[in-house]
Chains A and B, each alone.
Chain A
């Protein structure tokens, strides 16, 4: 199975990169883009064919390595 892990900075954490991208978009005339938050996206190829197991494993590696719980949160999708 494939798991997708989306890691994002927590809402309370300032994102200097997202701010810079938003500023760039504004200077390009995209005033309609009010804010940008940059995150990370991971695709994990897993040996299991069980969705529940895949989700559990992806969450485990996200907790252990992919995300830093002090500043980031994550979301897992499996297919």
Chain B
């Protein structure tokens, strides 16, 4: 199977995503330049972290209009698995593929740290190999990860079980202290209504081998491989 990794000007986790999928998981992987419109036969798309367009205006606000985005939207609409990591998540929000928006962290500081997140749902292409309630130790690195949604939108997200990851303590408890950025309902990751598009602020690709201090993020990328192998939610680009 093949991962397509979209490269925007200012992406800086594209190589990490490539390394994790190609060298650690041993899968085919290819970069997709944001000015291209061809997804080159990718089975799974990753929108990596970074600072696309320098975070000008709002994080992800300009990248969402990149020439490749209509192809990404069409791929997602067909049920293709799309994972947005950090800035990739911010781009998915700006593109309207996932509801809500990001605000500046409540501390107004860029937070770079290993945090704990709890897997809330396993019926997505990026969590199918994880256990419900499993706590993963994965790094975050962002200044705008303070997730916001209006109360009625949040209620709908909860009712639809679209909250996929929450920030917790190492024991898996949701506490205010364990919330690194002020996100509403401690939300660290979400999916769309169809469940094939997942966005998350933590970086699973930076926690995919023990040499990096944690291999807990690997299960997220392995889930994508599993979902393609099992034939669920397949939409070849």
The smallest C-beta distance from B70 to any residue of chain A, in angstroms, reads 15
Q: CB < 8 Å: which of A13, A20, A65, A66 contacts B103?
A: A13
Q: CB < 8 Å: which of A16, A20, A70 contacts B146?
A: A16
* B99-112 Cβ-contact flags toward A at 8 Å (1 or 0): 11101111110000
Contact assessment for A20 and B100 in the assembled complex, using a CB-CB cutoff below 8 Å: no
Contact assessment for B104 and A70 in the assembled complex, using a CB-CB cutoff below 8 Å: no
With A16-B107, A20-B108 in contact, is A68–B94 under 8 Å at CB? Answer: yes
With A68-B58, A70-B150, A71-B148 in contact, is A16–B101 under 8 Å at CB? Answer: no
Whole-angstrom distance between the alpha carbons of A65 and B101 in the complex? 14
Question: In the complex, what residues of B have CB within 8 A of residue A16's CB?
Answer: 103-108, 146, 182
Whole-angstrom distance between the alpha carbons of A21 and B115 in the complex? 28
- Judged by DSSP, the binding face of B is loop
Question: In the complex, what residues of A have CB within 8 A of residue B148's CB?
Answer: 13-14, 70-71
Whole-angstrom distance between the alpha carbons of A2 and B94 in the complex? 27
Contact assessment for B106 and A14 in the assembled complex, using a CB-CB cutoff below 8 Å: yes
Judged by a CB distance under 8 angstroms, whether A17 is at the interface is yes
Write the chain B residue with the least CB distance to A65.
B61
* B139-156 Cβ-contact flags toward A at 8 Å (1 or 0): 000000010111000000
Contact assessment for B108 and A17 in the assembled complex, using a CB-CB cutoff below 8 Å: yes
Question: In the complex, what residues of A have CB within 8 A of residue B107's CB?
Answer: 16
Contact assessment for B58 and A70 in the assembled complex, using a CB-CB cutoff below 8 Å: no
The smallest C-beta distance from B13 to any residue of chain A, in angstroms, reads 23
Question: In the complex, what residues of A have CB within 8 A of residue B103's CB?
Answer: 9, 13-16, 71
From A15, A16, A17, name the one whose CB has the most chain B CB atoms within 10 angstroms: A16
Whole-angstrom distance between the alpha carbons of A13 and B218 in the complex? 35
Question: In the complex, what residues of A have CB within 8 A of residue B150's CB?
Answer: 12, 70
Q: Can you add 9 more A-B contacts, CB < 8 Å, to A65-B57, A68-B58, A70-B150?
A: A14-B103, A14-B182, A16-B105, A16-B106, A16-B107, A16-B108, A17-B108, A68-B94, A71-B148
Using a CB–CB cutoff of 8 Å, the interface residues on chain A facing chain B are 9, 12-17, 20, 65-66, 68, 70-71
Q: Could you pull out 5 A-B pairs where Cβ atoms are within 8 angstroms?
A: A12-B150, A14-B148, A16-B146, A20-B108, A70-B150
